């Protein structure tokens, strides 16, 4: 139930009272449950929703409620202590990591939820690195202290060792597992005990005697750490003077915003313990839009860098970070507004497309519920109806003061399926539906194989494509047939070569003449195709150099081993020649493409395959069977560690060997093992397997 009375005033909050945060974590750490509790305690809900019951408000998609996982990042807004907190609840499954990526791009802070039982897991590391990339300040919430095997201090140790972070513990748990009762507030040096099951009533009490020494030890650690950053606290600590909570909070806030420390709290969201204090910490320590540096961008007219401050009297600017399709309103563009303001019914300017767009409606989102707004300004995150040409990553601004903000970069898909419509009626609807889905999801790609005549869809994993197919059926009423999953192989070179090619055609009139000489060498991993012009003396006229480069890129689209894309090659254009009459852009483009393809043959091309970083959690009794299966799957086992009677296996394994692994691991362990896999890197396919793959695609 949406609290509409509060929502009507929600957009009028002062800028320094706004918090734009994301809830990020590994799958099943309790992100959505934590968010549901935030909504309940803030008065947004009258009843707590549960993920396992399919009643969580933030998991609004049918696919989310059926599977008990978050698939799409959902936005909501709550009022807490007169602060407006805009929350994005993000997915934890690796297949939907782009949702985390684009959310962190536009957020000012994040709450990272850790499971007290499982500690820092694979996706925890991934989202932490993503937050590092965007320099997002963080608060850590060690959740599930009520679960069997909960280990607060073990989780804390893993945060230091695996994430290399600087945690400052502000709360300690009182008990754990079934005996978890509450928390110790180390700033007030008081115990927090709950008086009811809903977590609405609690009181501060004296710290239990058996925990006093531990509390004093961690309180000392807070003071020592903060003294590194503030002379007043250092002086008071040296002279054993009292330090006010206000002063401590002030320094914790400034150092958190500067990403120098990470405040750590604990609780059990499912048991309704600790969430209100987490919300307090968000208000106390997370930055407002005015606390973060002004957004930077490029003025397309002058090509000079400019900044926009988070003020409503600045020229309007915003970034579209997400698109969804609503069955009634059509396309919704989610936009973070960095400066200025806009009104419903006004016009804005898409700087990337150089087109005016009309703002039909402005909506404040609460998962899939919508609250219309007349006007929004800097610091707001809203959904806009009416933008026809704007896509994810586009900048919108005032036409008279254009600026292009940095866009987002998403990983390439690693798995593909051939898809075809079941009927003629489905055929007409399929491409429209696929177009809408690819517009929503930057990691979902649609292609066409000219040789086979098949439509190819590509994504980040089996679950990702499974959800896409389910949405095609349910939302768009499109029936499909699908082929077997295909791995996104790539090609690179292992040697060097110097090659040249002439493209010469004479047809009676003006002919075609292009001549280039290239040097090819292996590039660094992830470098793509790097082209350098080393031509001297004008052997290739400058007006044709871009055509040569276009030809090289064209040749790299489809390599010589099965037609897979070529990556990580350094190309030097070292020589060539031209004809006064017959040379043209087309001729040099063809010469560049042919020379590159010839260079692949002479520089020992090899096939690359995506390698997954795999974590398997299995009971002791099944360890041998799981290891044996991994060995037969060409896995490279990195480590085997123990966690509370559970073995954790970390390994690198080829994606091609992991199709259907969920079924395999379930049968090997009677359904008792869990696994998580993340894309790691590309590696060379063994020769005997590469020959089979190339033969399959060349036949």
* Spatial CB neighbours of 14, under 8 Å, sequence gap ≥ 6: none
Query: What pairing do the DSSP bridges indicate for beta strands 171-174 and 454-459?
Result: unpaired
Q: 60-69, 217-226, 352-361, 436-445 — which is least confidently predicted?
A: 60-69
- Full strand arrangement of the beta sheet holding 109-115: 74-80, 83-89, 18-25, 109-115, 138-143, 262-266, 167-169
Residue 28 has a pLDDT of 81
52: confidence class by pLDDT, cuts 50, 70, 90 = very low
Residue 17 DSSP class: G
Residue 3 has a pLDDT of 41
Question: Cα separation of 141 and 152, whole Å?
Answer: 10
How many degrees, rounded to 5, is the angle at CA 67 between CA 455 and CA 627? Answer: 85
Element (H, E) at 439: helix 424-440
Give how far Cα 74 sits from Cα of 123, 164, 327, 540, Å: 19, 29, 17, 54
Q: What is the pLDDT of residues 256-303, one digit of tens each?
A: 999 999 999 999 999 999 999 999 999 999 999 999 999 999 999 999
Helix/strand/coil for 546: helix
Percent residues over pLDDT 90 in the chain: 61
Q: What is the pTM of this model?
A: 0.73
Per the prediction, the chain carries an average pLDDT of 88
Element (H, E) at 642: strand 636-643
660: confidence class by pLDDT, cuts 50, 70, 90 = confident
Residue 146 has a pLDDT of 95
The arithmetic mean of pLDDT across residues 682-691, rounded, is 91
Residue 6 has a pLDDT of 44
């Amino acid at each position: 139930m949406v609290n509409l009375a509060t929502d009507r005033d929600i957009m009028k909050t002062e800028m320094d009272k706004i918090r734009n945060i994301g809830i990020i974590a590994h799958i099943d750490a309790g992100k959505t449950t934590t968010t549901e509790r935030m909504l309940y305690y803030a008065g947004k809900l009258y009843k707590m929703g549960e993920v396992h019951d399919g009643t969580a408000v933030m998991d609004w998609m049918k696919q989310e409620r059926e599977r008990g996982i978050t698939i799409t990042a959902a936005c909501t807004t709550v009022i807490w202590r007169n602060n407006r907190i805009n929350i994005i609840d993000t997915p934890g499954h690796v297949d939907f990591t782009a949702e985390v990526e684009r959310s962190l791009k536009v957020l000012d802070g994040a709450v990272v939820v850790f499971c007290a039982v499982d500690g820092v897991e694979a996706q925890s590391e991934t989202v932490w690195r993503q937050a590092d990339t965007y320099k997002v300040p963080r608060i850590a919430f060690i959740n599930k202290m009520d679960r069997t095997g909960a280990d607060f201090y073990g989780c804390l140790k893993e945060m230091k060792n695996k994430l290399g972070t600087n945690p400052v513990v502000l709360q300690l748990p009182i008990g754990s597992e079934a005996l978890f009762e509450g928390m110790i507030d180390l700033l007030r040096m008081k115990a927090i005990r709950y008086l009811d099951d809903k977590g609405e009533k609690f009181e501060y009490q004296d710290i239990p005697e058996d925990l006093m020494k531990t509390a004093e030890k961690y309180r000392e650690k807070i003071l020592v750490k903060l003294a590194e950053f503030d002379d007043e606290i250092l002086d008071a600590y040296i002279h054993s003077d009292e330090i006010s909570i206000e002063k401590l909070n002030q320094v914790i806030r400034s150092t958190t915003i500067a990403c120098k420390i990470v405040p750590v709290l604990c609780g059990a969201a499912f048991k309704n313990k600790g969430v209100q204090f987490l919300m307090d910490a968000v208000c106390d320590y997370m930055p407002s839009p005015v606390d973060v540096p002004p957004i930077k961008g490029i003025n397309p007219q002058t090509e000079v860098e400019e900044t926009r401050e988070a003020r409503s009297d600045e020229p309007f600017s915003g970034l579209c970070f997400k698109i969804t399709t609503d069955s009634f309103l059509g396309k919704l563009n989610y936009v973070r507004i960095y400066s200025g303001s806009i009104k419903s019914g006004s016009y804005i300017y898409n700087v990337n497309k150089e087109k005016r767009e009309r703002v039909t409606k402005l909506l404040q989102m609460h998962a899939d519920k919508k609250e219309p707004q007349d006007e929004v300004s800097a610091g707001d995150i809203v959904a806009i109806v009416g933008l026809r040409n704007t896509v994810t990553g586009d900048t919108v601004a005032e036409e008279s003061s254009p600026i292009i903000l940095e866009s987002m970069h998403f990983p390439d898909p690693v798995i593909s399926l051939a898809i075809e419509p079941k009927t003629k009626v489905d055929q007409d609807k399929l491409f429209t539906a696929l177009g809408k889905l690819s517009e929503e999801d930057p990691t979902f790609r649609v292609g066409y194989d000219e040789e086979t005549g098949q439509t190819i869809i590509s994504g980040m994993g089996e679950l990702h494509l499974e959800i896409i197919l389910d949405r095609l059926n349910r939302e768009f009423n499109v029936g499909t047939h699908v082929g077997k999953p295909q791995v996104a192989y790539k090609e690179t070179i292992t040697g060097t070569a110097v090659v040249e090619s002439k493209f010469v055609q004479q047809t009676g009139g003006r002919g075609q003449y292009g001549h280039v000489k290239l040097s090819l060498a292996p590039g660094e991993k992830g470098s793509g195709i790097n082209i350098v012009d080393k031509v001297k003396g004008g052997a290739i006229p400058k007006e044709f150099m871009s055509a040569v480069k276009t030809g090289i890129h064209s040749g790299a689209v489809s390599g010589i081993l099965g037609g897979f894309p070529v990556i990580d090659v350094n190309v030097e254009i070292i020589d060539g020649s031209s004809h006064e009459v017959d040379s043209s852009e087309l001729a040099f483009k063809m010469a560049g493409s042919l020379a590159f393809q010839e260079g692949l043959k002479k520089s020992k091309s090899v096939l690359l395959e995506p390698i997954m970083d795999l974590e398997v959690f299995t009971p002791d009794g099944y360890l041998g069977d799981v290891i044996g299966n991994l060995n037969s799957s060409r896995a490279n086992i990195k480590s085997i560690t123990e966690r509370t009677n559970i073995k954790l296996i970390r390994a690198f394994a080829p994606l091609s060997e992991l199709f259907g692994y969920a079924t395999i691991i379930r049968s090997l362990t009677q359904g008792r093992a869990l696994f998580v896999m993340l894309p790691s890197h590309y590696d060379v396919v063994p020769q005997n397997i590469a020959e089979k793959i190339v033969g399959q695609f060349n036949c």
